[in-house]
Structure 1
Amino acid sequence: MLDLEERVSRVFNPDVRPLVREAHRCYASGAARAAIVLTWTAVCADLIHKAEILKEDGESDARGLVEDVERAQQPGQADAVNIMLGIERSILDIAEKLELVDRTQKMQLERLREDRHLCAHPSLRPLGELFEPTAEYARAHLAVALEAVLVHPPSQGRKILESFMVQVADPAFTFDAQYLGYAFFDRVRPSARAKVVQFAAKFALLQIDDPHVTIPPGMLADRMALCLRHFAERDAALATDCVARHADRLLKADPAVQLAALARLGDLPAFWACLPEALIAQFNARVEGIGKAERTGALPAQEAKVFALVANAEVRTTLPALEGAFTALHVSDRCRVIGQRPNAYFAAHLPGVLEEVGSFDHGQFVARTAVLPCAGVLTLDDLRAVLRAWWDNDQCWGRAMPGYLVELYAATAHLGAQRDAVWREYLEELREFTPTFNEIARGTGLVEVQAD
Structure 2
Amino acid sequence: MADMETQITQVWNPDTRPLVEEAWRCYNSGAVRASIATTWTAVTADIITKLIQLADGGDVSAVAFRTEITNAQEKGITPDGVRAMQNIEAALLAKATEFELIDSIGQRELERIREDRNLCVHPSLRSFSEVYEPHPEVARGHLAVALATLLTHPPTQGGRIGQAYLDYTCDPSFVPAVSHIQANFYDRVRATARTNIVKLAAKHALRELDTGGRLPNIEYANRSALVLYAFAQRDRELVRSAVAGQRIHFQTLEGEVQLRALVRLGDQDFFWDLVDRPLCERLEGLLTRTLGAESWEPLRADIAASLATVTSSYTRARIPALEQRFATLSELHRMNVVATRPHPYFVPVVLKFLAEAGSWRTGEQAGQLLVQHSFFLRIEDLQTALTAWANNYECRTAAQMPDLAVALFRNTASLGAEQPAAFVSFLARVQSLAEVGDSYYRYPSLEAALRAEGHIQ
**Closer, same or farther: CA 77–320 of 1 in aligned 2, 3 Å:** same
In structure 2, what is the Cα distance between the partners aligned to 1:302 and 1:421? 40
What TM-score do the two structures reach when normalised by structure 2? Answer: 0.83
What's the counterpart of residue 446 of structure 2? 443
What displacement does 1:39 show? 0.9
2:208 is aligned with 1:207: yes
2:443 aligns to what SS in structure 1? Answer: helix
Q: In the TM superposition, what whole-angstrom CA distance separates every residue of 1:28-59 from its partner, at most 9, and x where no partner exists?
A: 21111111122123213322443455567456
What displacement does 1:145 show? 0.7
What's the counterpart of residue 191 of structure 1? 192
1:224-373 matches, within 5 Å, as 224-289=224-289, 292-296=290-294, 297-368=297-368, 370-373=369-372
1:9-408 matches, within 5 Å, as 9-54=9-54, 57-58=58-59, 60=61, 90-122=91-123, 130-213=131-214, 215-289=215-289, 292-296=290-294, 297-368=297-368, 370-396=369-395, 397-408=397-408
- Contact 2:427/2:447 (CA < 8 Å) preserved in 1? no
User: Given residue 45 of structure 1, which amino acid in structure 2 is its aligned partner?
Assistant: A
What's the counterpart of residue 450 of structure 1? none
**Closer, same or farther: CA 162–176 of 1 in aligned 2, 3 Å:** same
**Closer, same or farther: CA 268–68 of 1 in aligned 2, 3 Å:** same
In structure 2, what is the Cα distance between the partners aligned to 1:344 and 1:72? 62
- Greater displacement, 429-438 / 21-30: 429-438
What displacement does 1:263 show? 0.8
What displacement does 1:287 show? 1.5
What displacement does 1:421 show? 5.0
- Contact 2:37/2:120 (CA < 8 Å) preserved in 1? yes
- Contact 1:310/1:323 (CA < 8 Å) preserved in 2? yes
**Closer, same or farther: CA 73–390 of 1 in aligned 2, 3 Å:** closer
RMSD: 3.5
In structure 2, what is the Cα distance between the partners aligned to 1:355 and 1:73? 79
- Greater displacement, 349-358 / 312-321: 349-358
What displacement does 1:387 show? 3.7
What displacement does 1:259 show? 1.4
1:317 aligns to what SS in structure 2? Answer: helix
In structure 2, what is the Cα distance between the partners aligned to 1:99 and 1:415? 52
User: Given residue 192 of structure 2, which amino acid in structure 1 is its aligned partner?
Assistant: S
What displacement does 1:158 show? 0.9
**Closer, same or farther: CA 17–411 of 1 in aligned 2, 3 Å:** closer
1:234 aligns to what SS in structure 2? Answer: coil
- Contact 1:308/1:338 (CA < 8 Å) preserved in 2? yes
**Closer, same or farther: CA 125–320 of 1 in aligned 2, 3 Å:** farther
**Closer, same or farther: CA 154–416 of 1 in aligned 2, 3 Å:** closer
**Closer, same or farther: CA 128–424 of 1 in aligned 2, 3 Å:** same
In structure 2, what is the Cα distance between the partners aligned to 1:402 and 1:66? 67
- Greater displacement, 152-161 / 238-247: 238-247
In structure 1, what is the Cα distance between the partners aligned to 2:117 and 2:10? 23
In structure 1, what is the Cα distance between the partners aligned to 2:90 and 2:406? 76
What's the counterpart of residue 454 of structure 2? none
- Contact 2:96/2:102 (CA < 8 Å) preserved in 1? yes
In structure 1, what is the Cα distance between the partners aligned to 2:34 and 2:412? 67
In structure 1, what is the Cα distance between the partners aligned to 2:125 and 2:301? 74
What's the counterpart of residue 415 of structure 2? 415
- Greater displacement, 379-388 / 153-162: 379-388
- Contact 1:32/1:133 (CA < 8 Å) preserved in 2? yes
What TM-score do the two structures reach when normalised by structure 1? Answer: 0.84
In structure 1, what is the Cα distance between the partners aligned to 2:292 and 2:21? 71
**Closer, same or farther: CA 103–383 of 1 in aligned 2, 3 Å:** same
2:329 aligns to what SS in structure 1? Answer: coil
In structure 1, what is the Cα distance between the partners aligned to 2:67 and 2:403? 69
- Contact 2:266/2:314 (CA < 8 Å) preserved in 1? no
What's the counterpart of residue 455 of structure 2? none
Structure 2 runs not aligned, ≥5 long: 452-457
What displacement does 1:249 show? 2.1
User: Given residue 303 of structure 2, which amino acid in structure 1 is its aligned partner?
Assistant: E
2:288 aligns to what SS in structure 1? Answer: helix
- Contact 2:43/2:151 (CA < 8 Å) preserved in 1? yes
What displacement does 1:98 show? 2.5
In structure 2, what is the Cα distance between the partners aligned to 1:223 and 1:254? 20
What displacement does 1:356 show? 4.5
What displacement does 1:22 show? 2.5
Q: How many residues align?
A: 443
What displacement does 1:86 show? 6.3
